[in-house]
Amino acid sequence: MSVKTMRCDEVRLLLMSLADGALVGARAEAVRQHVAGCARCSEELAQLAADAELLRKEEKPEVPAYLGTRIMAGIRGRQAGARPWFGLSRAMARVAAVVLVAVGVWLGTALARGMVGPQQSLTDRLAQVGLELPNGEDQ
Amino acid sequence: MSQNDDRQLGERAQAGDTSAFDELVRRHHGPLYCYLYRTCRNGADAEEMTQESFVKAWEGLRGFRGAASFRTWLFRIATNLCINRLSRRKPVDPLSDDVPAARRDEPAETYRQRQLKECVGAALESLPADQRSALVLSIYEELSDEEIAEAMGRSLASVNSLLYRARMSVRQALAGARSRGFV
């Protein structure tokens, strides 16, 4: 935006930023140059600066003692709470717990159905149906 | 304190270095508390939101890319918290024209200062949350318009418009203080 093309209504929006010190760089310079040649905007800037000065008279709030320490204590507490199992994150620990339960259920069911555990020898199973193996073939 | 230092601390904190985040807290908790206090006008709320902002920052460190300064990024988290909270509050009544009398034996100058302080506080409190937030960032935290836009997640034009409306309302409120001779 060049100085020549800036109108009062365009400058007006930026005057308060200039008064607050929030306008920087080329835009600040362009507004300053417009104000230097415009009595109305110059008066407006003086008024805005006076308002800003009044607002700045408000006392700075007192920061509560040990606020920073309490913030860090809270963060360290959450961090510790987030690693309940051998350094795993909470989400990973949940997944591990679900997998363990599922394996336990499957193992229990499999044992009950005889899918897992000591197997009957071939000789015993053939004997149950009245057959027997020739000598030495059940090795 | 420089933005580069903050960026390095932010990178170390992203890698899990708690002591780096500790340093960022030490640097920024005071200004953040003051910003929140001035915006929400309540000490207990400001304290709670300061803590919440840092917890969110710690948990969201992966989202901090270093394109914005750590300060602006932190203020954005806080601004979102604060505006959400203020939007749930009841709107403040317009400024009253009644001027309380001076306290017994109160010197005239003390009375004037007290009235002026109350006028300024009431003028800020009467602003909508987003205008107040923009004005506090501009006047007290001395952020540039671009930084305010980043901290509020708004466009530059929107911030200029917010500041304009805020300043016009404040001027009207302060005109009362001027007409009563408090300024």
Q: How far apart are CA B83 and CA B145, in angstroms?
A: 18
Mutate which: A10, A12, A17, A66, vs B, most B CBs within 10 A? A17
Q: Which helix (H) or strand (E) holds A40?
A: helix A39-56
Answer yes or no: is pLDDT of B24 > 70: yes
Q: How confident is the model at residue B110 (pLDDT cuts 50, 70, 90)?
A: confident
Chain B: closest CA distance from residue A54 (Å): 7
Answer yes or no: is pLDDT of A3 > 60: no
- Residues of chain B neighbouring A59 (CB-CB closer than 8 A): 117
**Contacts by B95-99, CB closer than 8 A, 24 or more apart:** B95/B119, B95/B122, B95/B123, B95/B126, B95/B173, B95/B176, B97/B176, B99/B180
pLDDT more than 70, % of chain B: 89
Q: Which residue has the higher pLDDT, A91 or B166?
A: B166
Q: What is the pLDDT of residue A122?
A: 74
A80 with B60: CB under 8 angstroms? no
Q: How confident is the model at residue B175 (pLDDT cuts 50, 70, 90)?
A: confident
- Residues of chain A neighbouring B163 (CB-CB closer than 8 A): 16-17, 20, 22
Strand locations in chain B (E) = none
pLDDT tens-digit readout, A95-123: 878 888 888 888 888 777 766 656 667 77
Answer yes or no: is pLDDT of B75 > 90: yes
Q: How confident is the model at residue A20 (pLDDT cuts 50, 70, 90)?
A: confident
CB contact under 8 A, A13 and B164: yes
Answer yes or no: is pLDDT of B94 > 60: no
Mutate which: A1, A47, A54, A57, vs B, most B CBs within 10 A? A54
- Residues of chain A neighbouring B174 (CB-CB closer than 8 A): 51, 54
Burial of residue B118 (CB within 10 Å: 0-12, 13-18, 19+) is middle
Q: How many residues does chain B have?
A: 183
Question: Same CATH fold, B108-179 and B3-87?
Answer: no
Q: Which residue has the higher pLDDT, A130 or B152?
A: B152
Closest-CA residue of chain B to A11: B160
A56 with B38: CB under 8 angstroms? no
Q: What is the pLDDT of residue B178?
A: 80
CB contact under 8 A, A58 and B51: no
- Residues of chain B neighbouring A17 (CB-CB closer than 8 A): 138, 145, 160, 163
Q: Which residues of B43-74 are buried (b: 16+ CB within 10 A; e: fewer)?
A: eebbbebbbbbbebbbeebeebeeebbbbbbb
Fold designation for B3-87: Rna Polymerase Sigma Factor; Chain: A (1.10.1740)
Answer yes or no: is pLDDT of B108 > 90: no
Identity of residue B155: S
Q: How confident is the model at residue B1 (pLDDT cuts 50, 70, 90)?
A: low
Closest-CA residue of chain A to B139: A20
Chain B: closest CA distance from residue A88 (Å): 14
* Mean pLDDT confidence for A28-38: 92
Q: Which CATH number fits domain B108-179: 3.40.50.720, 3.30.230.10, 1.10.10.10, 3.40.50.970?
A: 1.10.10.10
pLDDT tens-digit readout, A59-89: 889 999 999 999 999 998 887 776 545 555 6
Closest-CA residue of chain A to B50: A71
Question: Is B90 in CB contact (< 8 Å) with chain A?
Answer: no
Most confident of A16-25, A103-112, A124-133, B155-164: B155-164
Q: What is the pLDDT of residue B44?
A: 95
The upper half-sphere exposure of residue B48, i.e. CA atoms within 13 Å in the direction of its Cβ, equals 9
Q: What is the pLDDT of residue B91?
A: 59
* Mean pLDDT confidence for A7-34: 86
Answer yes or no: is pLDDT of A2 > 80: no
Predicted ipTM of the assembly: 0.78
Q: Which of B30, B58, B160 sits opposite A75 (nearest CB)?
A: B58
Answer yes or no: is pLDDT of A139 > 60: no
Where are the domains positioned within chain B?
3-87, 108-179
CB contact under 8 A, A68 and B29: yes
Identity of residue B19: S
Q: How far apart are CA A121 and CA A127, in angstroms?
A: 10
